[in-house]
Chain A
Amino acid sequence: MLISNPVRDFFHKIVQERVLVMVAQDVDGLCACKILQSLFKCDHVQYTLVPVSNKQDLLREFDAHKEQYKHMILLNCGGNIDLLDVLDPEDDIMIYVIDSHRPVDLVNFYCERQIYLIMRHGPDEIDLIPDYDCIYRNYESDEEDSGTEYEQSSKRHKFDTETLEKRREKKIWEEKRKEIIFDYEFSYYGTSASVVLYELAWKMSKDDVTMLWWAIIAVTSQYQNKRIGRERYISGVLELQGHLSRLNHRTEDQDTTTMSIDAMKINFEHDLDIALYRHWSLFESLCHSLNSSTTFKVWTNLGMKRLHQFLAEMGIPLTQCKQSFAFMETKTRDNLQTLVQEAAEKFGLRNIKYHSFTAQCGFIHKLCASDAVYSIDALLSSKVGSELDDENSNFVDALDSLSRITAPKVISGLETAKIQLKAIKNNVGSFIDIGQVLSYGPFLFSSIKEGSPDSTFFAQPSFLLMFAHYLLHSYIRSLGKSKRERARNLPLVVSAPKQDGNTIIMGIPPIAEESRKNLFGNAFVHSAERTKSRTEHYFFDSSAVLVKNEDTSKFIDALITIMS
């Protein structure tokens, strides 16, 4: 059920207890976890924290700990799964869910106890949930209660108009229900778990700048991974900015001299929407950012030329563009934003600037929210597939990197992110060159071949997702004008083999889809049912699925039929 007053019904209930926190291994989950940890620290709530990366983990950790804990919190996972069915909790176990995955599972939403959802009550969030009456009605129970009687007397009442009427009504209702549920099952992302928790902290007057920074990172990651559209990002950012000025105001009231230089300061600013440029060179950053790389088509010779023209237009010497940002001339660095923007307009590079936040501690380099996201994402996936296959140590590293922006882990994350971006750029280039993006009618399809040099990267869902977005954007730019318009409305499906004999199949919504709703979750389920493919709906995000290698082709075939 939905909790209307999270302070009273959630926080004050668990504050006396020992709780188990299960955290999804993504940026939002981690940030939410940090916020919750600080809240718990304030109130001395004893907790145990375990990372979970998929549904299997969730079940395993739940079973391992269910003897010891009566109160469990799921961070950024579990909201879209029927928890009562999957976990089968004892009656005295209370589960609190703070999750940005949508749609909310209807059983979770309408059950009276045990499952408590903490989410925003805004119109975007709740309105989409169908009314109780539309999906649950007492037909079944009526039938069961009178079941035996009904059978015995069925002959007598066969032509009873009342019964017929009832049946017809039921049939209509059932069809309507199916339709509603089908409409409802589009997956998308709601307000990030971190923001929900930040608001909880704020309501209890326990929020601070660090917590805000975590909320900022979470929102930025949603935007960066294309989980929310630009509009929702901007409204989210403005909200956070409101909190920021309130917090800054509060510190101004105090004696400013007492603020240590080492305390974290957050600034709201217009920033360049290119990846990692503060920690890379301008040239590399432009080459590897989604927006600029696709606009220039950097995988072609012509595109490279255009990129160089672009740099010339700005009037910055090439040697400076290619050296580390930190060593560029101060004057150029200060004017960089205006220079880039002016040149961008001439080259049709849209949305090169966006609203964002940067954080600074002491006198070191600023860290902007988007770079922090790259770093954490990279840390989360850095060791997977390699010999040190230990997702949990990734989790620990990523969590460490969040505790301080000056943490050494942040830097190592940034370096890994660069390697990943390079791999994406190279692969996208070659995929486009040899035409590996195919139009299957209702969607575009591209498959990563087994044994490709970067296959360990591709086995990692977060990397695959980022790759898919780059690929889709690049593909559309590579088309002629006439085809382009059509392709903008097509979703993309990518498949990547894992080493264990399974293939990850992941779908992303079309570029033109501003609401970022993803219909693949449902389609995957149907396709699997129809072909009896051996699949596992294993990820928290329903738009990715694991399919046995042998079943992949029939699965995709069925997907085409379902979606056309």
Chain B
Amino acid sequence: MFGEKALELIRELHRNREGTLAPYNEDGVRQVLEEMQALYEANQQDVSQLVQNESDQTSLTAVQIRHDSLQRNKRCLLAYLYNRLQKIRELRWEFGSVLPANVRSNMSPKEMEWFSKYNRTLANYMRSLGNGGLDLTQDMQPPQNVHIEVRCVEDRGELELDDGSKILLKKNSMHFLPRSQCEHLIRQGVLKQVT
């Protein structure tokens, strides 16, 4: 069946769990492209035959079906790529400009390229806000308190705070800190807010 492989890519998107990125399916993309090429060549052949032999209805239908399959494959492929970009974008907002290694290893080189460009674009925009810029990836949750209680989930060594003092993040230790200082660590899963 035509389009089967493209559909598989879409299914893969669908299966992707939240907050993770499935490996880039280079093989799948290539196969779809190959299928498209084959379809295209078959069409070319049929069309040139059609020009010679005008009354062949069956090949006309075949051409049409192939054409639709091509369109469908194109759409699926673009959806696959585009949605992955969306996912990477989400992860950018979640983890900051440096993505975790397990996410990075699942990205294609071209996606990496896109990601660094996106990073630059976003950074430029955020810097242009006000005089000193405004980090939009902070303040994701409406604040309830200036300070929050957090529990450290993994050993993280020292954390330097805005006022220059340092604290040691050890597993299972608990801290009471200004929210702004630990928001990104909470998102990275190093700290957990205690409610």
**Residue positions of A touching B, CB distance < 8 A:** 18, 37, 40-41, 44-51, 64-65, 67-68, 392-393, 395-396
Inter-chain contact A37/B173, CB cutoff 8 Å: no
Inter-chain contact B171/A392, CB cutoff 8 Å: yes
Separation of A50 and B168 alpha carbons in the complex (Å): 11
Cβ distance B173 to chain A, nearest Cβ, rounded Å: 5
Inter-chain contact B147/A44, CB cutoff 8 Å: yes
Asked if B120 CB lies within 8 Å of chain A CBs, one says: no
Residues of chain B within 8 A of A393, CB atoms compared: 172
Residues of chain A within 8 A of B174, CB atoms compared: 48-50
Separation of A531 and B19 alpha carbons in the complex (Å): 62
24 pairs across A/B with beta carbons < 8 Å? A18-B165, A18-B167, A37-B149, A41-B149, A44-B146, A45-B176, A46-B175, A46-B176, A47-B175, A48-B167, A48-B168, A48-B175, A48-B176, A49-B174, A49-B176, A50-B172, A64-B168, A65-B168, A68-B165, A68-B167, A392-B172, A393-B172, A395-B172, A396-B151
Separation of A41 and B148 alpha carbons in the complex (Å): 9
Residues of chain A within 8 A of B175, CB atoms compared: 46-49
Cβ distance A359 to chain B, nearest Cβ, rounded Å: 20
Separation of A155 and B165 alpha carbons in the complex (Å): 61
Inter-chain contact B176/A64, CB cutoff 8 Å: no
Q: Mark contacts of B157-185 with chain A using CB atoms, 8 A cut-off: 1 yes-contact digit, 0 otherwise.
A: 01000000111101111111110000000
Separation of A393 and B176 alpha carbons in the complex (Å): 18
- Who on chain B is nearest to A17 by CB? B165
Residues of chain B within 8 A of A48, CB atoms compared: 167-168, 173-176
5 residue pairs, one from A and one from B, having the closest CB atoms: A392-B172, A49-B174, A50-B173, A48-B175, A47-B176
Residues of chain B within 8 A of A395, CB atoms compared: 172
For B165, B166, B173, the residue with the greatest tally of chain A CB atoms inside 10 Å of its CB is B173
Other contacts beyond A48-B168, A68-B167: 17, CB < 8 A: A18-B165, A41-B149, A44-B147, A46-B147, A46-B175, A47-B175, A47-B176, A48-B167, A48-B174, A49-B173, A49-B176, A51-B172, A68-B165, A68-B166, A68-B168, A393-B172, A395-B172
Separation of A44 and B167 alpha carbons in the complex (Å): 16
Cβ distance A133 to chain B, nearest Cβ, rounded Å: 43
Inter-chain contact A37/B168, CB cutoff 8 Å: no
- Who on chain B is nearest to A70 by CB? B165
Inter-chain contact B166/A64, CB cutoff 8 Å: no
Cβ distance A68 to chain B, nearest Cβ, rounded Å: 5
Inter-chain contact A67/B176, CB cutoff 8 Å: no
Inter-chain contact B171/A67, CB cutoff 8 Å: no
Separation of A64 and B166 alpha carbons in the complex (Å): 12
Residues of chain A within 8 A of B147, CB atoms compared: 41, 44, 46
Specify which of A45, A50, A396 is in contact with B170 (CB 8 Å cutoff). A50
Specify which of A40, A65, A68, A396 is in contact with B176 (CB 8 Å cutoff). A40
Specify which of B146, B158, B172 is in contact with A396 (CB 8 Å cutoff). B172
Residues of chain B within 8 A of A41, CB atoms compared: 147, 149, 176
Chain B: how many interface residues by the 8 Å CB criterion? Answer: 18
Separation of A47 and B167 alpha carbons in the complex (Å): 9
- Who on chain A is nearest to B169 by CB? A48
Residues of chain B within 8 A of A396, CB atoms compared: 151, 172
Cβ distance B151 to chain A, nearest Cβ, rounded Å: 7
- Who on chain B is nearest to A394 by CB? B172
Residues of chain B within 8 A of A37, CB atoms compared: 149, 176
- Who on chain A is nearest to B174 by CB? A49
Cβ distance A454 to chain B, nearest Cβ, rounded Å: 27
- Who on chain B is nearest to A49 by CB? B174
Residues of chain B from 134 to 167 with CB closer than 8 A to chain A in the complex: 146-147, 149, 151, 158, 165-167
Separation of A44 and B149 alpha carbons in the complex (Å): 11
Residues of chain A within 8 A of B172, CB atoms compared: 50-51, 392-393, 395-396
Separation of A153 and B27 alpha carbons in the complex (Å): 99
Separation of A44 and B176 alpha carbons in the complex (Å): 8
Inter-chain contact B166/A46, CB cutoff 8 Å: no
Separation of A395 and B177 alpha carbons in the complex (Å): 20
Separation of A65 and B176 alpha carbons in the complex (Å): 15
- Who on chain B is nearest to A392 by CB? B172
Cβ distance A413 to chain B, nearest Cβ, rounded Å: 18
Residues of chain B within 8 A of A392, CB atoms compared: 171-172
- Who on chain B is nearest to A391 by CB? B172
Cβ distance B117 to chain A, nearest Cβ, rounded Å: 39
Separation of A447 and B158 alpha carbons in the complex (Å): 46
- Who on chain A is nearest to B151 by CB? A396
Residues of chain B within 8 A of A67, CB atoms compared: 166
Separation of A64 and B173 alpha carbons in the complex (Å): 12
Separation of A392 and B170 alpha carbons in the complex (Å): 11
Cβ distance A74 to chain B, nearest Cβ, rounded Å: 15
Residues of chain B within 8 A of A50, CB atoms compared: 170, 172-174
- Who on chain B is nearest to A48 by CB? B175
Separation of A393 and B174 alpha carbons in the complex (Å): 12
Inter-chain contact B168/A46, CB cutoff 8 Å: no
Separation of A40 and B145 alpha carbons in the complex (Å): 13
- Who on chain B is nearest to A47 by CB? B176
Separation of A65 and B167 alpha carbons in the complex (Å): 8
Inter-chain contact A64/B170, CB cutoff 8 Å: yes
Separation of A48 and B177 alpha carbons in the complex (Å): 9
Cβ distance B157 to chain A, nearest Cβ, rounded Å: 11
- Who on chain A is nearest to B177 by CB? A46
Residues of chain B from 83 to 137 with CB closer than 8 A to chain A in the complex: none
Separation of A64 and B146 alpha carbons in the complex (Å): 27
Inter-chain contact A46/B178, CB cutoff 8 Å: yes
Separation of A68 and B146 alpha carbons in the complex (Å): 22
Separation of A64 and B158 alpha carbons in the complex (Å): 11
Separation of A392 and B178 alpha carbons in the complex (Å): 24
- Who on chain A is nearest to B165 by CB? A18
Cβ distance A248 to chain B, nearest Cβ, rounded Å: 27
Separation of A281 and B167 alpha carbons in the complex (Å): 49
Cβ distance A116 to chain B, nearest Cβ, rounded Å: 21
- Who on chain A is nearest to B158 by CB? A68
- Who on chain A is nearest to B172 by CB? A392
